[in-house]
Structure 1
Amino acid sequence: MDGVLPLYKPKGMTSHDCVNRLRKIFQTKKVGHTGTLDPDVTGVLPICIGGATRISEYLLNSPKGYEGEVTLGKATTTEDASGEVVAENIISSVTRQEIEHAMKQLTGTFIQVPPMYSAVKVNGKKLYEYAREGKEVERPKREITVYNWTLDSEEEIFEGPYPSFRFTVHCSKGTYVRTLAVMIGEALGVPAFMSDLKRTKSAIFTLEDCKTFEEIEAAKERDELASLLVPISEALSDLPKFIIHDTLASKVQNGLVLEKEQLSFYKGEETFLFVDESGNAIAIYRVHPTKPNLLKPEKVFHF
């Protein structure tokens, strides 16, 4: 079986826990997730099965959507509710206007430093491993983009001592939303942490697409696991797609480099997907890095 399973990740499981459980269900080692979710975070976690593991990087690099909650007045070691409180400042109140102004300051492209309790690697070792040893190391800065924030709570004034508010955010890959919560606090001049988080969108997948482990186990009992998998061509539907056949399809399946001028349908796309007449993915091509008049294969699929 090859395809992408849109999983609803439950609270209390790591992304790796989910992969291990699905390896047993699907009876294959070729299972991979498309972006780590912390144990306390729930929601959309696309899982690549079989040959679809080869497209995990494209799903990983896609924008994400979240719904969550920020609590003001406290800071924690992990920047979320699971950590120990390391700073506290009782707050009388904060206004809707102040929060929305902070969100506006944190919209756009800027640099973010990942938290110490994260899976980012430094010198081959994960940051959370250093944190558990009580060691501080220099963390790699990364450029992220917050496309938009929405303040979902309806209050005009959020009263203390530890006011909280709900939000929706859409952001680029690599964004730590719990760090965004801390940064909102900094913009407001108070400590803060992320008290709740759910991923609502990843690549083309939304909460409505997701299957729970209970639904997956039930499908296995009915011998219907394959029906839960989204085909590669559909999972990559945000890429430009070209239907090809005959001689060109044969060249693509053999991974040949193509000349742009030979393709009448090509309109300057950087990366795109070739599919056959049945809609099955054949290959992902992109502009050649050193020969801009050529197109080279990134992935060729043989199922």
Structure 2
Amino acid sequence: MDGILPLWKPKGFTSHDCVSKARGMLKTKKVGHTGTLDPEVEGVLPLCVGKATKIVPFLTDTDKVYETVVTLGYSTTTEDATGDKMDVKKVKPLSISEVMEALASFQGEITQIPPMYSAVKVDGKKLYEYAREGKEVERPARQVMVKEIELIDQDITFSEQTASFSIRVVCSKGTYIRTLCVDIGKYLGYPAHMSFLVRTKTGDISREDCYTFDEIQENVDKDKRNSLLLSLSRGLNHLSSWEVEQEMIPKIQHGQVFESPEGISEPLFVVKCAGEVLAIYQQHPSKPGYIK
């Protein structure tokens, strides 16, 4: 089995849990995920199977699309709804235009400080391990790209103390939506947290492409497991491609260096023959005008 299994990750599973379950269902060890989702978050989690595990880094590096709810009025220890309540401040009347102005300020390249409850490593130790010990350490700031950020509907839900609104975010790898929600709250002058999150797209793979574990099991029982898999090219659609003739295949399989093809200037690109992915090539680091 070689291809991409477009899984709709259920709540209550870690990304590693999903890999383990898929290995058992598909009866294969070569399965890898393409970007972690927190246990309480559901959404698109493509799993690479067989030879497709080789493209994990490239599919992981794609843009992600999320739908999330920002709740103003109190912050939490984990920056989401699972943490303990911390700072509290009653939300005063708030307009849609104020929220729109806040969202606009976060479009483009922004700086984030990863949350303490995250898998980012500091001095060889994951931040959530420090957090569980009650320690807070200095965290390195990182640059991420928010390509799109918008209100899902023109509505703010008010309660006695809080206000919530739903947003859609298209962002680069490594963006913490929890932290984005907290920072939006700070811009508006309130402690905040992320009260809901779902990932609706990874690269070119969307919600409509995905299967639940029950649907996967149903196909496995009918001996239709291969029908579940997307081609390798679906995980590489964000890269340019170079189509070659049949006689080039052995040379590419042996990793031969070539002159740069016309029209290809990107650092990385896919090499295909008759639409089938053969390799990923890059501009040669020491030989200008050549690729390897």
When the two structures are superposed, what TM-score results if normalisation uses the length of structure 1? 0.92
> What is the deviation of 1:28?
1.9
Alignment correspondent of 1:19: 19
Shift of 1:275: 1.5
Q: Give the match's secondary structure for 2:199.
A: strand
Shift of 1:157: 8.1
Contact 1:92 1:160 in 2 (8 A): no
For residue 149 of structure 2, what is the aligned residue in structure 1? 149
Q: 1:176, 1:38 → 2: CA distance?
A: 11
**2:106 aligned with 1:106, yes or no?**
yes
Aligned to 1:267: 264
Matched residue, 1:219? 219
Unaligned 5+ runs, structure 1? 297-303
CA contact (8 A) 1:91 1:163 kept: yes
1:178 CA drift (Å): 0.6
Displacement of 1:159 = 5.9
Question: 1:299 is matched with which residue?
Answer: none
Task: Report the secondary structure of 1:32's partner residue.
Answer: strand
Alignment partners' CA distance in 1, 2:160 and 2:149: 23
- Structure 2 residue aligned with 1:37: 37
**1:290 paired residue number:** 286
Please give the alpha-carbon distance, in whole angstroms, between the structure 1 residues aligned to 2:172 and 2:75: 24
Conservation of the 8 A alpha-carbon contact between 1:76 and 1:87:
yes
The alignment-based identity, stated in percent, is: 49
Partner Cα distance (2:58, 2:45) in 1: 14
Q: What's the CA shift string for 1:192-235, capped at 9, x where partnerless?
A: 00000000110101110110000001011011111111111232
For 1:188, the equivalent position in structure 2 comes to: 188
Residue 21 of structure 1 aligns to a residue in which SS? Answer: helix
Quote the offset at 1:258 in angstroms.
Answer: 1.1
Amino acid at match of 2:24: K
Q: Secondary structure at the match of 2:12?
A: coil
Instruction: Determine helix, strand or coil for the equivalent of 2:143.
Output: strand
CA RMSD, 1 decimal: 1.5
Whole-angstrom distance in 1 between the partners of 2:264 and 2:92? 58
**CA distance in 2: counterparts of 1:180 and 1:62, whole angstroms:** 19
What are the equivalent positions in structure 2 for 1:114-263 lying under 5 Å apart? Answer: 114-155=114-155, 158=158, 160-260=160-260, 263=261
The number of equivalent residue pairs is 292
SS in 1 for 2:55: helix
Deviation for aligned residue 1:156: 6.7
- Measured in 2, the distance between the counterparts of 1:266 and 1:94 equals 51
1:291 Cα deviation after fit: 2.1
Contact 2:12 2:39 in 1 (8 A): yes
- 1:112-146 Cα offsets, whole Å, 9 max, x none, are 11100011112222111110011112212211011
Q: State the partner residue of 1:300.
A: none
Structure 2 gap ranges (5+): none
Query: How many Å separate the matches in 1 of 2:290 and 2:220?
Result: 45
1:281 Cα shift?
Answer: 1.2
In the TM superposition, residue 158 of structure 1 has moved relative to its aligned partner by 4.7
The question of whether the paired residues in 2 share the 8 Å contact of 1:95 and 1:157 is answered with no
Separation in 1, partners of 2:229, 2:148 = 31
Q: Whole-Å Cα distance in 1 between the matches of residues 2 and 218 of structure 2?
A: 19
